[in-house]
Amino acid sequence: MDKTATKILFSFDKTVNPEETLQAAVAIARKSNSSLHYILTEESASIGSGSEEGVVKDFKLKHGVQLEISKFPGNFWKGLSTAVEKLKATLVVAGASPSKEGLLGGGMSAKIDKLDCNMLYLNPNTKWQTPIDLVVPIDSSSETRQKFSPASHWGLLFYSNVTILEVKKSEKGDDARLPHVYAIQANNYMVEKGLRTKVVNLGVTTEVVKSILDQSKDLRSKWITVMGNREGMLRVSAIQTICENATCPLLVIPYREPIGMGGSGY
């Protein structure tokens, strides 16, 4: 379900440290042999001073990566989603304050699912770091298994260790059984791809975001995977809170309606 990165879009608004997003975009472009395309929305910060030609030339000399710049109307998230559609992007690197839940257009989940590709998201408190560890939370919702394929793609690219977090809200019934089943499936999938993995049972918790972030604190350098879930403990409200509180990059995967029987989506 993931696309091999060949065209990476990136943008940052005026609320973040632009260097963090810039480092992220350049590092991923180098690692995946991709070009970069800066999207200048109505809320984006400028990527440089002087003429566009001069900015592009200086960028190539400094970073060794080819750069294009395009303007798209609308606010930050609308401009990015339009750019993804028109430019057929394979990844978006976005540095911005999270869209607040409850405002017109919805919060972060609504923005995520409008994208037609994965996104690496950095909020104003995020520090760029390569994913030595890739954290993959799994709950009782079968749709969270859509994380398997993109997580394995980026894990292989960066030679990451994969930490699978088993998230559950009960010790009984499907709320206990399914997270364990899906976590084992995730482990087997990653092992088949050649990745080093471990499964961590977070135990029963109602403070799912705190548990995920606390478990991730001791990891050396990481990304956390999130998705625009409709069901389970990792649904909209949890995604909103993770996007607001994480201090590491988030690998954000838009939810897609599974096609065919089974509903696994991976």
Residue environment code for 92-116, b if the CB has 16+ CB neighbours within 10 A, otherwise e = bbbbbebbebeeeebbbbbbbbbbe
Query: Over the stretch 99-148, which tens digit does the pLDDT of each residue have?
Result: 987 765 678 888 888 888 899 999 999 999 999 999 999 999 888 899 99
Provide mean pLDDT across the span 224-236.
Answer: 79
Provide, rounded to the nearest whole percent, the portion of the chain with pLDDT above 90.
Answer: 68
Does domain 133-225+235-245 fall into CATH 2.40.160.20?
A: no
202 or 260, higher pLDDT: 202
User: Is the pLDDT reported for residue 195 higher than 80?
Assistant: yes
Q: Check: CB of residue 37 under 8 Å from CB of residue 7.
A: yes
**Residues spanned by CATH 3.40.50.620 within the chain?**
7-122, 133-225+235-245
When pLDDT is averaged across residues 236-263 and rounded to a whole number, the result is: 81
CATH class label, 7-122 = alpha beta
